[in-house]
Structure 1
Amino acid sequence: MERTRRSVLASVAAGTAAVAGCAAPQNSGQQTGDSPYTRVYNEVLPSVVVVHVAENNRKVAQGSGFAIDPRTIVTNHHVVDPGSEVNVRLADGQWAEATVVGSDQHSDLAVLEIESAVTVPKTLSFVDEPAPVGEEVVAIGAPFGLSESLAQGIISARGRSVRGLSRFSIPAAIQTDTQVNSGSSGGPLVNLAGDVAGVVFASQGGNVAFAVSAALATRVIPELRETGSYDHSYLGVTLLTVEPQIADANGLSEPRGVLVVETVDRGPSDGILVPSITDSDASGGGTGNGGDAPNGSDDDEEPQIRRRAIPTGGDVIVAIDGTPINNTDELTRTLALQTRPGQTIPITVIRDGEEIVVEVTLGELPEE
């Protein structure tokens, strides 16, 4: 996964051509055939670019990207982050210099602006509605430097929280079985109508890969274009999904919601939500905005989960602003897609066996 996110292999195609003592052939791009994949490939390919990133005239990264207008390219933050010199290569072989106008590590999105007179001949649009599980999709990009490559698959799941470049997760991600490799990052994951369901950003190998959802991308990208950055909501808690063992240990009638394990000192929830772990407890720090957390001591006489004592006594969040919360993925997705920093939101919690509502004013997700 780190190979996909943080580094890009040297181009296999370019290397092979060098060994053979000849130049790599230019792909004409347009293909013939009756396959729906051929049709969508022909429609989408002119919008897709290869992104080359350098520092001090030395190539340090390569990925993919796509145009949302003739001079504006969407790619991943982790593709452009390693260097300051960015060039894009269009499907017709033209090169253009580009500037990073906005970048956000928490969504792993970046927006580039083409500086030269070169423009991308076609552009892509994001889907209006979330792509359903089972829908066929294709990824077009440059895996291992092999530009103009097509991979086909389906939407395997939606609403995933996937570990990003910091300790916080990328929320509302799309899971797909489409083959994704180094160099695919930043490319479009499109449905067979040619609309972007997500922006490819990571692979866990095999048939598990991830894309930033259109729902999150359409919130983040306009602000990256306008201001260069995007502020994400921050609750300032460490959480655990309430599984049966956690429900039993906390005297809950059923396993639902998420348990507040810790609150960040002086964070948005400090003094409002009740944590299981307090300053007097022995175990360590939290992750800040959802996700599994350290679970306390290893006392064998305590209820156990994953070989650690189960935290008890904290609030269990069961709804945010009326939206039911059943697990940490749902909480991070709700914060990402339905709230903004500075907003005061009602949070329904189970505290001491009773369901109550408290209000938290959200902060801004920290950089690290």
Structure 2
Amino acid sequence: MPTESTRRTFLGALAAAATGSVAGCSNNSPPSRNETRYPVNQSHETTLPARDASDSTVSDSESVYTRVYRKTSDAVALIRTPDGSQGSGFLYDATHFVTNYHVVGEADRASVQLNETTSRIGRVVGRDPRSDLAVVELGSTTQTDPLSLIESEPTIGTRVAVVGSPYGLRGSLTSGIVSGIDRQVPSPAGDYQIPNAIQTDAPVNPGNSGGPLVDLSGRVLGVVNSGGGDNIAFAISASLVRRVVPALIEDGEYDHPYLGAQTTSVTELVARANEFPNPKGVLVVDVPSGAPAEGQLRPCTGVRRVEGFRVPVGGDAVLAIDGEAVRTPKALHAYLALNASPGETLSVRVRRDGSITTVPVEIGERPELVV
């Protein structure tokens, strides 16, 4: 089980990288009716009662979010572990709740509070520190419909809501927009960055982690995993959830695709140093011994000074994978994470020795993480 210092280290990393904090691990109990322990911004965070859609007292803007709340809130639970960590989770199918790894850690069981009077003990059947996802299984079905994942990538400006349990306040809703896409954020695993993350300005606080970021149709855009600073919060995309969660349910773990090549963007400076005709693709700087890319992609063989800068030269420039253009190391990482599987052979277009060629590259499995 991760120590408390390990969690603090992870929270600090997120705070530094995302100017926020992990929103999931709250060890505080919800305030009593007569005591307010935590500041709650009433203009942003609202616990909405179920209301009839025909209620004329609800304004148009409120009714949109009221409908979202009514459609999603029953499928969102407060998740607690025996060590006091708590966060949120949502019903993925008849018996499984999705949450964050950093909410449940290495716990075997978790309490799933479905409403004010119903709480059940679930079994943590799968976890993946790299994607910061985990699955809690209930022994029997609930009377609630699961939430569905969005099929397409969200666009900037899409109105969204976060439903969860900030500070243990189950059934809370905040609203905002998608303010960024294709972000890369730290994960609890120090060797991995979560790709394709969604950025939102919806208020996110400790206890929200593991809950859904939904659109106005109630579809899940992502799983909230960090936030709390300067109206910036992040969610693990539905695209990554769709790949990881079924494996967690079936096998208890997820095998991440891995190339093992260290790359850098082909900038104007890199293109000049390598005598490339244009600044496109990513340069293979190094391929560590034993990495899947060893013997398949060529690393740099030296450095050259350009404008006073030491620039790596002599390696392959990866231009595309299976026809998909690769422009940055981040794009390469995201493509592999969302499209490749260990053991699969991909067609990689590279610039090598002054000409463009296509080479087959077999994808490996990222080394096992020691928790």
Of 45, 55, 71 in structure 2, the residue corresponding to residue 43 of structure 1 is: 71
Which residue number corresponds to residue 190 of structure 1?
A: 214
The letter of the residue matching 1:148 is G
Of 30, 34, 49 in structure 1, the residue corresponding to residue 50 of structure 2 is: 30
Secondary structure in 1 matching 2:134: strand
The letter of the residue matching 1:30 is A
Which residue number corresponds to residue 363 of structure 2?
A: 362
- When the two chains are superposed, the root-mean-square deviation of aligned CA atoms in Å is 2.6
User: Compared with structure 1, are the counterparts of its residues 38 and 6 closer, same or farther at alpha carbon in structure 2 (3 Å cutoff)?
Assistant: closer
Query: Percent identical across equivalent pairs?
Result: 38
Q: How does 1:1-368 map to 2 (within 5 A)?
A: 2=11, 4-5=21-22, 8-11=25-28, 13-14=30-31, 29-31=49-51, 33-34=58-59, 35=62, 36-54=64-82, 58-59=83-84, 61-115=85-139, 119=142, 121-166=144-189, 167-203=191-227, 205-276=229-300, 309-368=310-369
Secondary structure in 2 matching 1:40: helix
Task: Please state how far the C-alpha of 1:147 moved relative to its aligned partner.
Answer: 2.4
Could you tell which deviates more after superposition, 175-184 or 133-142?
175-184
Task: Please state how far the C-alpha of 1:302 moved relative to its aligned partner.
Answer: 5.8
Unaligned runs of 5+ in 1: 21-26, 279-295
CA contact 2:88–2:99 (8 Å) conserved in 1: yes
Quick one: distance in 1 between partners of 2:71 and 2:90? 13
User: Compared with structure 1, are the counterparts of its residues 304 and 87 closer, same or farther at alpha carbon in structure 2 (3 Å cutoff)?
Assistant: farther
TM-score normalised over the length of structure 1:
0.82
User: Compared with structure 1, are the counterparts of its residues 228 and 9 closer, same or farther at alpha carbon in structure 2 (3 Å cutoff)?
Assistant: closer
CA contact 2:101–2:128 (8 Å) conserved in 1: yes
Which residue number corresponds to residue 288 of structure 1?
A: none
Unaligned runs of 5+ in 2: 1-9, 13-20, 38-46, 53-57
CA contact 1:304–1:310 (8 Å) conserved in 2: no
CA contact 1:139–1:150 (8 Å) conserved in 2: yes
Secondary structure in 2 matching 1:311: strand
Task: Please state how far the C-alpha of 1:121 moved relative to its aligned partner.
Answer: 2.4
Could you tell which deviates more after superposition, 218-227 or 191-200?
218-227
Task: Please state how far the C-alpha of 1:304 moved relative to its aligned partner.
Answer: 6.2
User: Compared with structure 1, are the counterparts of its residues 319 and 255 closer, same or farther at alpha carbon in structure 2 (3 Å cutoff)?
Assistant: same
Secondary structure in 1 matching 2:81: strand
Aligned length: 334
Task: Please state how far the C-alpha of 1:7 moved relative to its aligned partner.
Answer: 6.9
CA contact 1:71–1:120 (8 Å) conserved in 2: no
